[in-house]
Structures are given as C-alpha cells and as structure tokens.
Structure 1
Amino acid sequence: MLEGTVPVPREFAARYRREGYWIGRTLADLARPQARTDGTRTAVVTARERLTYRELDERADRLAAGFSSLGFGANDRVVVQLPNRPEFVLTCLALFRLGVIPVLALPSHRRDELVSLCEHTEAVALVVPDVHQRFDHRTLAREVRDGVPGLKHLLVAGDPDGLTGLAELAEAAPSEPETPGPEPSDVAVLLLSGGTSGRPKLIPRTHDDYALQGRLSATAMNFDERGVYLAALPAAHNAAFGCPGVLGTLQVGGTVVLAGSPSPDEAFPLLHGEGVTLTTLMPAHLSLWTELADVLPSRAEGLVVEVGGAMLDPEVARRAEAALGVTVSRWFGITEGVMCCTRPDEPEELRLGTDGRPLCEADEIRIVDSEGHDVPDGHDGELLLRGPYTLRGYYRAPEHNAASFTEDGFFRTGDLARRTPTGHLVISGRIKDVINRGGEKVSTAEVERHVRSHPAVAEVSAVAVPDASLGEKSCVFVIPVPGTEPPTLSDLRTHLTQRGCADYKLPDHLRLVSELPKTPVGKVDTKRLRAEFVAGRKEPSHVTD
C-alpha cells in the first residue's frame, strides 16, 4: 500500500471481491487481450493519427522499457500534464505496467499548480507537451524543476528542445520486467479533487476500483466493443478518463477518439467521420453544440451525450436532443467515487429531470441533516457516499480526512441532495465554498490566497456568482490597502497569472468595497455578497468591473 493512503477495510475488500465487483485485474493489462485476439482493431484515433490495439500494446511496452531505463519503479510518482494526444494514453498505460503512479495534471495548469503537485507527491518526473495552444510547456517544466529540486526528469511529448523526448524513450526494446507488475489493490493513479479547500487534494484510485468504475459506466451507457468514445474534455479529467472514458473504452475493446477540445470545429468532423456513439460534455458545451447544430452534416442519431460537471436545465437538454438528434444522459459524480447517471433508455422525465441512480448495487448513499440523521425521501440533506469505487482517504491529507469522512467510512460530499421515490437523486446545491466554473472546480480559498498577495489588497472574499454560459463565475470583493491605488480586475488577473495560476482560476469580476459583511460568528457573509452581486447593488463603496 502506498504510504500516505488509507486502505479499504479488509471486511469490505473481501466482500467486494466475493461479490464480483473487484475481479483481480489491473489497468496494466489494458489493450493486451485485444492485441492478442484482434490486434488490427482500432484503439485510439486523432485527426492525424490512428493506432490499432496491437500498435498501442507494443508502443506502451517500449515506452515502459524506456521509463524503466530511467530508474522508474513501483509506487514512484510521475506528474503527467498532457493534452488529448496518443502520448497521453501511451504514457499512462506504460506507467501502469511498471506499477508507477501517474499524477494527472490538466493542460491549463501552470507553475503554481505543478510545483505543488510535484512537491506533494515527491514526483520523480514531469511529463509535458512541447507546445500546446501556443504555450511552451518546456519552459514551464524548467521553471517547475527550479522550484522542486527533487524532480529528476523532464519528459516531453514532441520536440524536446534539450530535454528528454518520449519518442526517444519509446525506442527502447521491450523486455521482461525485473519485478512483478502491480497488484489489483495497488494505487493505479492519483487524480485531482475539485479543490474545495485551498490546493486540490489528491485522490488515490486503485486498479480494482477504477477498473470497476469504467466497466460499470460502460454498462450503464450500453457501451461495448462496437462503441466509439469521443474524449472532447481533457482526458486527465475523471469524466473523460474513467466514465467510461478512455480507460473504460479500452477495457471493453472499443475505440477512443481524442479531440483537442469540445469546440464544434474540432468535434463535429470526428462525430461523423469516426461514427462516435458516446461522448461527455459540460452543460455549456451542450448549449454551444445546440446553437451550431446546423453545421453538422446530418443529425447525430445514435449518439449518447453524458452531461455533468454543473447543473443542467432540463429544457436545455430537450432543445439539444431536438436540434442534434442525440440522447442526453445526466451525470452527477465526484472523482472521489460514487457516480450517478440517468440511463439512455429511461423515461424522459427521469432521464432529464433527475441526476440519476448510482452505477453499482453496492454503492451506499445516505442523505443526512446537520446532526447526521437520515432524512426522509424528498427532503434535502447532505449527500454521504460509500462503495467499492469510493476512496477512504485523500493522499497524505490526515486533517482533510478527519473532516471529510464519517467514523464508519462515508465520504461527506458537501452537496445537498434529495432522493425521489424511484431512487433517483436530485442535486439541489452544495455546502462547500467552491466555484463551479463550467465544470472546473475553483476553490474560493485558493483564489483568496493569491489575490491577498497583491500589494494593494488588504482583504478579499471570493464568491461564486451566476453566469448564463458557464453556470458560475468568480467575483472577488476586495478591500484595498489605504493610501494605495486600488487594483483593477486586469491588475489582479495579471498578478495571478504571474504567480503561475491557471486561466480558469483568474477572477471574472471585481467589486471594491470598504468592508466585508460578517455573520454573527464573525465569518465573512458570502451569501450576502452573492446576493448583492445578483441584485446589482451600486453603493459608493462598490466599484464594478
């Protein structure tokens, strides 16, 4: 067991194996069965490249040998920051085969996030693209190495520019591994949490539990070896990685199509060109696709679109189905574990009007009041989760674990939910302070920490405010330092960029205030600030952006 992780209690692990949820296979075996039985089947496709299962299997083995030549060994951690390219799939698969643990970063992450990940995991390597969306990640990687002396290797997909290229490593001749492969109960990957308190926490997913999630997701979507999955969201996201995503598709022998983004100009040609049957979008992307439905050469009949990451208006889903010809499946899930979805063959009122049912019969759901007592169906309460693919503790985070889990192992989601008589969930809000910006979870505490470092900022409170396209955006209420020139929104965004923050974490709105309202217990009254923003209240102490 990886140091710093919390194992599933033995009695639960034994039960999950006995009942057939954990089947004793690892993600290291992805692509091998198909490579041996039908190796010419298409495994991974992009607009420029196509890999069969045999090619994927052989290239992953060669890359694993190259990683081994660098000294990578079982339970080492490697931060992987790659966009939706074949190298992402190959790198993860090669690391799985060595028992090395990929730590998945997003392409939008910058110095601040990457330094934090590398330090926290004691990573031996960082894997980046050469240039992505006109940003040179090689320069970024060097900056990260300067801030993390223990980082031994910088690996590059594409032109290495003096660093170590993945293509060079993949020239190594595959050989029999010197040590056994990973055990099914080993940690396979470290995924990012939504970052609801300060820096994102890391979620250890084992081979057993993550493989189960992929299989269950595929089953719920009626997705099998004939299926073609379009990864339009970043593949490092849980949604596009394992729901069923890249890994679930490879498990069942389907085809993974990698798109650079959900933008219609990239995604639409692939839908028809590759015969896509399943994809995952955020609500804002679904609305954009609906607006541009006329661009499609023909209706996308037979395409199931999983929609999650933010609240979805049922009417938006109905318009999308009518315009595009797709079937919408609503998803609610957390990277920490239990996933709920509506099945494509369910009645419309359930499929579009609820957030679905759990994937697994062994998933345990409680909805409780503020005292921890279960509430009746139809009543709102906090959603608690436990099950065979739900974590029992964050990586190296004992303080968070003490607050995030009940004594009997249920995960406290911080989401408000109610259960319908049919067993479907309806998510009605959340308790934790987080901004859900088009599916990207932004911690208000993290934004506040960075804004507070600006020399003209005396105090700040960040809140989520409604936005028509993204669902929510961020607004920072700032008390300027007396006697200084008050910061502008542009000043703060530039400041956070220089501190290495990702674009989606930059504040969207600014309000300059003389004081921050407080609750009776002395905390900043964020509800009042949010209400003031919505009401468009203009006072002398407020300056709008």
Structure 2
Amino acid sequence: MTTVWTSNNGLAIRDLVPAADRRAWVARGHCPDRDLYSLFAEHVRRHPRRQAVVDPSGALDYRTLDLCVRRIAGRLRDAGLDHRDVVALRLPNGRDAVAAELAVAALGAVALPYPAGPGTRDTLSLLRRSRARGAVLADPADLALRHRLPDLRAVFSFGPRGPGVRSLCAPGPPLRPRPVAPEAPARILVSSGTESEPKMAAYSHNAMAGGRANYLRALKRRPGPMRNLLLVPLASSYGSCGTYVTLAALGGTLILQDSHDPATTWDTIARHRPTHLFAVPTLLRRLADHPARPGEDAGSLHALVSSCTALPETTAAACRDRFHRPLITVYGSTDGVNCHTGATGLGPGTGTGRPDPAVAAIRVLDDQDRELPPGRPGRICARGPMTPLSYVADPGLDAMWRTADGWVRTGDRGCLDDRGRLHLLGRTAEVVDRGGYSISPAQVERELGTHPAVAEVVCVPVPDADLGQRLCACVRQVPGSRPLALADLTSYLEDRRGLERRKLPELLLPVADMPLTATGKICRRTLTSLAADHHAGTGRTCR
C-alpha cells in the first residue's frame, strides 16, 4: 500500500518505495528515524558554541543559530503555517537561507528551496504546482507576484518589503518545535533537467538525514567534525548537502561565500580552514589556474569534491598539482542516484566508484528492465535510503522514471564492472543524430578532456540541412596554451585516442569562459545556441 502525505490545500505526495524497504533501512542503521530539526537540536545541546555557519557577515554558533531558527519558525506559525504546508525559499547563499530552511524543518513543514537569480518564470511554476502556502523571498520582482499565486497565504522577506510582505527581521516569540514523522516529506529538490518546467522531487527526513548524510560521512578521511565550503547554491541538488546534512544530520560547520571569484575562495580557505571543498569542475579549474600567492596554504583540506558533470582529466591533474589533496568525484542527481570515488580513489578504471547500499544501490537494466551482468551496458537504476518519495505534482514523471517497486530510472547509460564499480556511458537521451548515426557527446567530451590544452569541453548538436545535426566541440583552453584548430582536436581524437572517424566533431567553438546556470552547471542550452549562431554565420566550421 502506497503511503500518501497530503498538504493543507490538497497537494498529495506519494512514497513510491515499498514501506518494508524503508523499515529495513532504519533497522540496518542507514536512516536515523528522526526528523531533521530534532537532530539539529541535539547538536545544539551537545556543542552549542561550535561554529554552525560562516558567511561574509561572520560566524554563528549552534546556540545562536537555533535561536534565530526558532524565532523565524514562530513567525511562520503566527502567519498560520504549519506542518502540512509547503514553504518556498528563494534566497542567496548565507545565514538567512540556512536559518530559514531550518525554521521550516522546526515547523515540520516542507521546504522548497530554489536558486536565486533573475526571472520570475520558475517562481510562478514552482509555487503554483507545489501549492506553496508560504514563501521567503529576496527579489522584489518575486515579492510582486503574490496576486498571481492564489494558494500563497504568507510572504516573508529578510530585506525588501512591500504590501502584504512580512519581515523576518522583527523579533518574536520562538517556536517550541514538536517531532514530525521521519518518513514525511522534508524538502523538495528542484532540477531544470530536460523538462519544459523544473522537476520537483520530494525527500523525507530519513532520506535527507540518512542516505544523503551517509554519502557525506563516507567522504571523511579524518576524525572530527566536517567544515564544508560549498561553492554551489544551497538551493541546488548538489547544495542540499549543506543545511539539512552538514548541520542537522552531521553537526558540522557550513562555510559560504557570496562570490565565485577564485581569489575570494583562496582567502576563504586560508581564513576559515575548511576540511572539504564542494564545487563543479568549472570552478575547480578556475581555482587551480588562479595565480599562486606567497604562503598559500590549503593544508586544512582533506579532499576536493566535484559533481554535477564529468571531471576532465586535465582539470583533475591541475587540481592535484595545485592543491596536493585527493579529488573525489560524485555521480548524483535530484532524482536520487549517488555514487562516488571516496572509497575507490580517482584513477584509471575506477569509473564513478562503487555504489554504497547505505546511500543508493545501483543496478543496470536492459530495455525490458532485466538486470544485466557485469560488463554489459544498459540503463542505470538506483534505489536506497536516499531515494526520494516521488515527483511532485507530476504523475507523468513518476510513470516515466520510477519502476513499480520504487527504483529510479536515472536516464543514464552505464555498466558495472566485475569489481562492482560503476562506469558512465552518457545520457540515454543525449545523442547527436548525424544522418541516422547516433553520436554520444559524453564519449567525445571524455576523450577531448584528456587533451593537455583543453581545460573544459562540451559537445553540442548544431542543426544541419544535409545531415540533420553535426557535432560541435565548445572548448575553453588552458590559459597560455597555443590556440587549437579543429584539425588539432580531430587528429588527437583519431590518432591518439582511437575514436572512430564518424564520431569526430565537425565544428569548433572556442569560448573564453563556459556559461553557467544558476546552480553552477555548464549551460548546454546557451552553448547550443551560441554554436548554432556561430555556425550559421561562418559556414560549415566554427573556426
């Protein structure tokens, strides 16, 4: 029987994982069977003076942060919100975003964080479909949308205010939180994915404090609390390892900054001594390429953690040379898949690491959902303690991406080797169709990423009247390297990497910097548009 959670205004969230599996994960110790605020409050009692969050305004210890959290939760409660509500959060990284998310947990409500940035389309889409009754917003343009959101009961802001907007800076009586069901939804993760509207996946308290926390625990290499420097938005799927995991589940310290400037990050590392740095490959490369300064010290770092997209070999090498610290790559997504190289190390043959059943078991299936033996490529599926309940307000996505027994179809192709390590082979839907021949951009990117002069590469399709599509390589070169021509890359792929000639890119688009999305990923859509415009204006080759 499927468990269903229903909000005050009728939003139904189903748990598509069998209840027996959820109970088994608790029995094995993979999930704490407690709600997130209760876990956070335990850390407040155990180490009230430990730094909880560090941002450009300074540091807050656990006791001070908890008082802020309970006062914000009291303001939410006084506005008529409760544990059967969804509360949207669109705030820049910092203490306000951390306190607001924990306040939603203290209330027992469901948090819907999504990245701050220009535009109101996502706000309207997410709040309408989630039927959010509360929202904490920072952008005045978002604050003006209240009249277009009939379910929205209360709007709050830490800064700008307008008609009907309540301040979260005003003092008020703190809430006395009560425990909520650990399998109830706690957070909705948002991903643009390839859909026309952002996808929303609902995670329970146990999934956040269990599976997702277990993934972070496995990255620890030394005893003591983690001090995690996040260079990604807290509201992103990757950034979900921040507030509810680093703080509530693990009792560590969360270090945030309001800039992606490499010099600022190096200053943050020296001043606040993080143990782990979480970033996308683009930002890691920028850090590695930034000129070194006398006395530079990254000795506090235990590891660099990369996720969201493949880590090019040249970027990995540059990071090793600059930081002299281990690199861990994470294969993960909003949909509930996770596998990383924390245990296997990053090297030839390790792939994306060995799946951890305390986080998410992984199996590879054929087109008839039959499990394939080691070495046979197929569709990657995942299920485990971090598996989300279901997609929100979109049963069509559940039908497409979830199996009848709760496994998540990731949309990726891969295989498991005879040592249980997972190897990615690309997206099932991301292919370039050149005259009826399918080319995997991921494969070409992986091979081009080994070129010593290539810092970053993304391969995208460009429309072609003759063949339908051609493959364009969008390349950012290593600073100071000799400019590359298309022939340099194709000869390298064919002669040095053994790639078949029919897979070679036919177009080249040099870029000074890769365009990024609000979540820090490389924006393939922008690159596709740039490549198409460039190709249309210059003929068959981009250079």
Q: Give me the whole-angstrom Cα distance separating, in 1, the residues matched to 2:66 and 2:428.
A: 44
**Is 2:287 the partner of 1:289?**
yes
| SS class of match (1:57) | helix
User: For residues 269 and 109 of structure 1, do their structure 2 counterparts lie closer, same or farther at Cα, with a shift above 3 Å needed?
Assistant: same
Q: Give CA deviations for 1:321-342 in whole Å, capped at 9, x if unaligned.
A: 1122232101101122131111
TM-score by length of 2: 0.76
| SS class of match (1:55) | helix
**Is 2:157 the partner of 1:156?**
yes
Q: Which residue of 2 aligns with 1:25?
A: 34
Q: Which residue of 2 aligns with 1:518?
A: none
Q: Which residue of 2 aligns with 1:43?
A: 52
Q: Give CA deviations for 1:101-154 in whole Å, capped at 9, x if unaligned.
A: 11111112621110001110111122122xxxxxxx113320x22322332322
> In structure 2, which of residues 202, 215, 218 is the aligned counterpart of residue 217 of structure 1?
215
Q: Which residue of 2 aligns with 1:2?
A: 5
User: For residues 54 and 313 of structure 1, do their structure 2 counterparts lie closer, same or farther at Cα, with a shift above 3 Å needed?
Assistant: same
User: For residues 201 and 377 of structure 1, do their structure 2 counterparts lie closer, same or farther at Cα, with a shift above 3 Å needed?
Assistant: same
| SS class of match (1:13) | helix
> In structure 2, which of residues 270, 273, 277 is the aligned counterpart of residue 272 of structure 1?
270
TM-score by length of 1: 0.76
> In structure 1, which of residues 251, 254, 276 is the aligned counterpart of residue 252 of structure 2?
254
Q: Give me the whole-angstrom Cα distance separating, in 2, the residues matched to 1:504 and 1:112.
A: 18
The answer as to whether partners of 2:124 and 2:149 remain within 8 angstroms in 1 is yes
1:211 to partner: Cα distance:
0.5
Q: Which residue of 2 aligns with 1:468?
A: 475
1:370 to partner: Cα distance:
2.7
Q: Give me the whole-angstrom Cα distance separating, in 2, the residues matched to 1:92 and 1:396.
A: 22
Q: Give me the whole-angstrom Cα distance separating, in 1, the residues matched to 2:263 and 2:470.
A: 33
Q: Give CA deviations for 1:409-461 in whole Å, capped at 9, x if unaligned.
A: 22111101122222221212101359999xxxxxx9xxxxxxxxxxxxxxxx9
User: For residues 260 and 467 of structure 1, do their structure 2 counterparts lie closer, same or farther at Cα, with a shift above 3 Å needed?
Assistant: farther
User: For residues 35 and 509 of structure 1, do their structure 2 counterparts lie closer, same or farther at Cα, with a shift above 3 Å needed?
Assistant: closer
Q: Give me the whole-angstrom Cα distance separating, in 1, the residues matched to 2:372 and 2:73.
A: 50
Sequence identity percentage: 23
Q: Give me the whole-angstrom Cα distance separating, in 1, the residues matched to 2:470 and 2:363.
A: 28
Q: Read off the aligned partner of 2:166 and give its amino acid letter.
A: T
The answer as to whether partners of 1:187 and 1:206 remain within 8 angstroms in 2 is yes
> In structure 2, which of residues 378, 383, 396 is the aligned counterpart of residue 381 of structure 1?
378
Q: Which residue of 2 aligns with 1:165?
A: 167
Q: Read off the aligned partner of 1:73 and give its amino acid letter.
A: D
1:361 to partner: Cα distance:
4.3
Q: Which residue of 2 aligns with 1:146?
A: 147
User: For residues 392 and 247 of structure 1, do their structure 2 counterparts lie closer, same or farther at Cα, with a shift above 3 Å needed?
Assistant: closer
Q: Give me the whole-angstrom Cα distance separating, in 2, the residues matched to 1:362 and 1:259.
A: 28
Q: Read off the aligned partner of 1:338 and give its amino acid letter.
A: V
**Matching of residues 198-209 of structure 1 within 5 Å:** 198-209=196-207
Q: Give CA deviations for 1:467-502 in whole Å, capped at 9, x if unaligned.
A: 3359xxxxxxxxxxxxxxxxxxxxxxxxxxxxxxx9
User: For residues 420 and 325 of structure 1, do their structure 2 counterparts lie closer, same or farther at Cα, with a shift above 3 Å needed?
Assistant: same
**Is 2:195 the partner of 1:197?**
yes
Q: Give CA deviations for 1:279-301 in whole Å, capped at 9, x if unaligned.
A: 21111111111110514842423
1:259 to partner: Cα distance:
1.3
Q: Read off the aligned partner of 1:210 and give its amino acid letter.
A: M
| SS class of match (1:407) | coil
**Is 2:367 the partner of 1:370?**
yes
How many residue pairs get aligned? The number is 458
Q: Which residue of 2 aligns with 1:102?
A: 111
| SS class of match (2:5) | coil
Cα RMSD after superposing both structures: 3.4
Structure 1: segments with no counterpart, 5+ residues: 130-136, 438-443, 445-460, 471-501, 512-529
| SS class of match (2:189) | strand
Q: Read off the aligned partner of 1:99 and give its amino acid letter.
A: G
| SS class of match (2:234) | coil
1:175 to partner: Cα distance:
4.4
The answer as to whether partners of 2:328 and 2:346 remain within 8 angstroms in 1 is no
| SS class of match (1:415) | strand
The answer as to whether partners of 2:390 and 2:398 remain within 8 angstroms in 1 is yes
Q: Give CA deviations for 1:139-173 in whole Å, capped at 9, x if unaligned.
A: 3320x2232233232211224355322112xx111
1:194 to partner: Cα distance:
4.1
Q: Read off the aligned partner of 2:5 and give its amino acid letter.
A: L
Q: Give CA deviations for 1:165-202 in whole Å, capped at 9, x if unaligned.
A: 2112xx1112445xx43211110011113422221221
User: For residues 398 and 332 of structure 1, do their structure 2 counterparts lie closer, same or farther at Cα, with a shift above 3 Å needed?
Assistant: same
Q: Give me the whole-angstrom Cα distance separating, in 2, the residues matched to 1:19 and 1:334.
A: 24
Q: Give CA deviations for 1:213-266 in whole Å, capped at 9, x if unaligned.
A: 343123211166432111211011122222xx3332212222111112432133
1:311 to partner: Cα distance:
1.2
The answer as to whether partners of 2:56 and 2:258 remain within 8 angstroms in 1 is no
The answer as to whether partners of 2:87 and 2:111 remain within 8 angstroms in 1 is yes
User: For residues 462 and 59 of structure 1, do their structure 2 counterparts lie closer, same or farther at Cα, with a shift above 3 Å needed?
Assistant: farther
Q: Which residue of 1 aligns with 2:406?
A: 409
Q: Give me the whole-angstrom Cα distance separating, in 2, the residues matched to 1:347 and 1:105.
A: 32
Comparing 319-328 with 359-368, greater Cα deviation is found at 359-368
Q: Read off the aligned partner of 1:33 and give its amino acid letter.
A: E
The answer as to whether partners of 1:241 and 1:247 remain within 8 angstroms in 2 is yes
The answer as to whether partners of 1:45 and 1:51 remain within 8 angstroms in 2 is yes
Structure 2: segments with no counterpart, 5+ residues: 7-11, 432-440, 446-459, 461-467, 478-520
The answer as to whether partners of 2:214 and 2:358 remain within 8 angstroms in 1 is no
Q: Read off the aligned partner of 1:174 and give its amino acid letter.
A: P
Q: Give me the whole-angstrom Cα distance separating, in 1, the residues matched to 2:470 and 2:121.
A: 21
**Matching of residues 112-123 of structure 1 within 5 Å:** 112-123=121-132
User: For residues 429 and 46 of structure 1, do their structure 2 counterparts lie closer, same or farther at Cα, with a shift above 3 Å needed?
Assistant: same
| SS class of match (2:391) | coil
Q: Give me the whole-angstrom Cα distance separating, in 2, the residues matched to 1:28 and 1:76.
A: 16
1:95 to partner: Cα distance:
0.7
Q: Read off the aligned partner of 1:467 and give its amino acid letter.
A: C
